[in-house]
Structure 1
Amino acid sequence: MSDGTPRSVLVACMKDEGPFVLEWIAYHKSIGFNDFIILTNDCTDGTDLILDRLDDMGIVQHLPNPWVIGAGEKTLQSTAIEYAQLQKRFRLADWVFIADADEFLNIQIGNKDLPSLFGVIGDAQAISFNQVVFGNAGIQEFVDAPVTMQFFRRFDFSGDSPRLYPMMFGLKTLAHNRGDIYSRFTNHIPRLKKPIDPGLIWMDGGGKPVDPRFLNSQTRSYPVYMHRSKDPKTGKVQKTRKLYDAGGPTHDLGYVNHYALKSLESFVVQSRRGDAVNPEIRRDVSYWRSYDRNDVEDRTIVPQAERSRDLLEDFKKDPVLGPLHDIAVKRHREIYRKMLKQNKVRNLIEECLAAASGG
């Protein structure tokens, strides 16, 4: 950019996220992301049409995921990320961030935006933020309103909890776009070339250099992680929870608000389409129990959400985007009503309600 501020690109895969796309784009644009590369597959609710319009407006680059035509032998998401790296917007970016449609980067310092963050991280080449899970908070009905202004209960990441919950400390990494350092980009962390550059500065979300052991293993969570090893006698894989030495809190500069469930109605709709990036992931009551974390209240994202409100409203006033958004919202509700006719869906709802009430 002409003012010297680093240029940043946000890459995402999406499938049937129609009611939530405009908020997600408006929010991340308002905190300083310049470019967006969004790849979709098998959309049925108009998500692809919304992104096509945003592409026509010059706000995003929307691409079909080559995976749908059998391009490559990697996973749906890995294929999408590799394809994104071929695009001009990616190549021109100084910084790269890869996130899902239910994740919002929540910067905690200064003006709570990327320029504030870049102003304090110095010469760092990467900063890995924890994914902080926000629970359902007892909200059953899907409402056409910003997710960031509805769900304010999250997992408590303070204290000794890291020893118990590795999955609650997953990572999303804002990485300097350096081909001399990274061999490739992935959903959680970029993969380092070997040998590792001795001058590499990789921070955690608290602004501290990560434990050097993390750089050698590059696990997808921090500071707690799951170590896998084979029993020498039986050959079976053993899983052991371990901790890196983070030397203090890992959330001071920011974290990623992960709205894995949203409303119960939206969760039911999600269970129909499966995971947007991995069709093998099931959205069932076990998933609900794992991610319905409502330990503490957290409204730190509200200033950023309010900052993005005008842009979100401008999107909805667009003669093409507005109706497409409304169609996606209507489709979301129609899918839910249709699914209610299935016994297994009604059972899922009952199971989730029982789990939410401690049953």
Structure 2
Amino acid sequence: MRNEGPFIVEWVTWYRLLGFTDILVVTNDCTDPSPDLLDALARAGWVHHLRCDVPPGQPITRRKLRAAKAHPAVTGADWVMVADVDEFLVIHRGEGRITDLIPPGPPAFLGMSINWKVFGSSGIETYADQPVHHQFLQCQRPRHAMGRWVKAIFRRPDWFGRLGEHGPRRFDIAAAGGDWDTPGLGWITADGRPMPGFRAEAGGPRTLPAGLVGHKVAQINHYMLRSHESFGLKRGTLSPVALRDRYDDAYFARADRNEAMDITALRHADAFEALRQDCLRLPDVWRLHHLCCADHVARIVARAGGRPEDDPRHAAHLQKAQGAPEFPED
């Protein structure tokens, strides 16, 4: 993460709600208070926070994932998933928890690839401090090509040479003691279909063939844009993966998928809100969350040529940061 402070509490709460036991967040070169917020969450035992500043011109994502792979939270993990702060795993099976997707017991597979479902801006222009998965409910049509991209959940990270943003890479056949066809070492889709034909040494796939795409059992809600204002802060910045400026009008148009409606993430609304409030009541979290929100608003306003003090959202967040946590009455 870099300068994602306003969205951290929601994202951490979501994965904790799903049943993930360890959440490792790697930050680099932040100018907002998000590292301090993550340190507060780490002191409370909600996350592990690893700072990994990257020299200019160096591959940002690869360096951060290399640092993550060496962290005890990863080396000692039963299962690993790499997710950005705009990616939310939504499980439809059972109670919608991680144990409904990956049951306890002897593992029957090595990795699972879960398809994206890309959510657009829903026509929302302005940034607001509200959960992203509550605001943005419009998404791609079921068979849109962007839904072929995947994120992986996998075990034994030591059997791979490196982590990747979509799945692990460089599978070590010798260390694993077998190839994809070996029992327990297969790679499957979220609905359990085997995925033969991938080169074992390369690792898990980045995309799936159209015939294997599915969202019936699980999906990754990918909020690539959020509001127009929030996306505007990405314009002119380098992609941490490709190190090029790709956040332009064409990117926005490609990702602004609003053809369908999907409210399945809201099944957890009550439990999520209760846990989010617990998170915000942790020492220093409320204050730092609102300082991150104030910083986000200040950068939005400055980019538009205005003054932060003239935007009431900025003053409201600064005021909230000075007070005690408060929540609407039920």
- Smaller-chain TM-score range? 0.7 to 0.9
SS of equivalent residue, structure 2 residue 24: strand
Deviation at 1:287, TM superposition (A): 0.9
CA 1:305–1:92 in 2, change beyond 3 Å: closer, same or farther?
A: farther
CA 1:178–1:285 in 2, change beyond 3 Å: closer, same or farther?
A: closer
Deviation at 1:280, TM superposition (A): 1.9
Q: What is residue 93 of structure 1 aligned with on the other side?
A: 77
- Structure 1: distance between partners of 2:294 and 2:117: 29
**1:123-142 residue pairs with structure 2 within 5 A?**
123-142=108-127
1:170 counterpart = 2:134: no
- Structure 1: distance between partners of 2:220 and 2:261: 15
1:17 counterpart = 2:4: yes
- Structure 1: distance between partners of 2:229 and 2:53: 31
Choose the corresponding residue for 2:168, options 172, 190, 201: 190
Give, as a single letter, the amino acid of the residue that structure 2 aligns with 1:187.
E
Choose the corresponding residue for 1:252, options 205, 216, 219: 216
Deviation at 1:250, TM superposition (A): 2.2
**1:203-214 residue pairs with structure 2 within 5 A?**
203-213=188-198
Q: What is residue 17 of structure 2 aligned with on the other side?
A: 30
SS of equivalent residue, structure 2 residue 49: strand
- Structure 1: distance between partners of 2:100 and 2:118: 24
- Checking the alignment, whether the CA contact within 8 Å between 2:166 and 2:205 is kept in structure 1 is no
- Structure 1: distance between partners of 2:245 and 2:104: 37
Aligned residues: 297
Deviation at 1:294, TM superposition (A): 0.8
Q: What is residue 231 of structure 2 aligned with on the other side?
A: 267
- Checking the alignment, whether the CA contact within 8 Å between 2:54 and 2:60 is kept in structure 1 is yes
RMSD: 2.3
CA 1:324–1:131 in 2, change beyond 3 Å: closer, same or farther?
A: same
- Structure 1: distance between partners of 2:256 and 2:30: 26
- Checking the alignment, whether the CA contact within 8 Å between 2:180 and 2:186 is kept in structure 1 is no
Q: What is residue 220 of structure 1 aligned with on the other side?
A: 206
- Structure 2: distance between partners of 1:308 and 1:281: 35
Deviation at 1:120, TM superposition (A): 8.8
**1:2-13 residue pairs with structure 2 within 5 A?**
none
**1:306-325 residue pairs with structure 2 within 5 A?**
306-325=270-289
Q: What is residue 50 of structure 1 aligned with on the other side?
A: 37
**TM-score under structure 2 length normalisation:** 0.83
Deviation at 1:22, TM superposition (A): 0.4
Q: What is residue 230 of structure 1 aligned with on the other side?
A: none
Percent identity reads 29
Give, as a single letter, the amino acid of the residue that structure 2 aligns with 1:302.
L
CA deviation string 1:33-70 (max 9, x = no partner): 111111111111211111111112122111111534x8
Deviation at 1:213, TM superposition (A): 4.1
Deviation at 1:269, TM superposition (A): 1.9
SS of equivalent residue, structure 1 residue 62: strand
Which ranges of structure 2 fall in alignment gaps of 5 or more residues?
307-330
1:151 counterpart = 2:136: yes
Q: Detail structure 1 runs of 4+ shifted over 6 Å in the superposition.
A: none
CA deviation string 1:125-172 (max 9, x = no partner): 1110011110011111111010010111111123xx4xxx2x432110
CA deviation string 1:214-248 (max 9, x = no partner): 75765411124xxxxxxxxxxxxxxxxxxxx53xx
Q: What is residue 338 of structure 1 aligned with on the other side?
A: 302
- Structure 2: distance between partners of 1:197 and 1:205: 17
Give, as a single letter, the amino acid of the residue that structure 2 aligns with 1:60.
V
Give the number of the structure whose residues are more often strand, by fraction. Answer: 1
- Structure 2: distance between partners of 1:96 and 1:223: 23
CA 1:18–1:277 in 2, change beyond 3 Å: closer, same or farther?
A: farther
Choose the corresponding residue for 1:102, options 86, 90, 99: 86
- Structure 1: distance between partners of 2:287 and 2:254: 36
Give, as a single letter, the amino acid of the residue that structure 2 aligns with 1:134.
F
- Structure 2: distance between partners of 1:152 and 1:331: 26
- Structure 2: distance between partners of 1:59 and 1:258: 23
Deviation at 1:24, TM superposition (A): 0.1
- Checking the alignment, whether the CA contact within 8 Å between 1:27 and 1:304 is kept in structure 2 is no
**TM-score under structure 1 length normalisation:** 0.76
Deviation at 1:338, TM superposition (A): 1.0
- Structure 1: distance between partners of 2:58 and 2:193: 34
- Checking the alignment, whether the CA contact within 8 Å between 2:65 and 2:163 is kept in structure 1 is yes
Deviation at 1:117, TM superposition (A): 1.0
Q: What is residue 237 of structure 1 aligned with on the other side?
A: none
Deviation at 1:203, TM superposition (A): 0.8
**1:278-293 residue pairs with structure 2 within 5 A?**
278-293=242-257
Q: What is residue 355 of structure 1 aligned with on the other side?
A: none
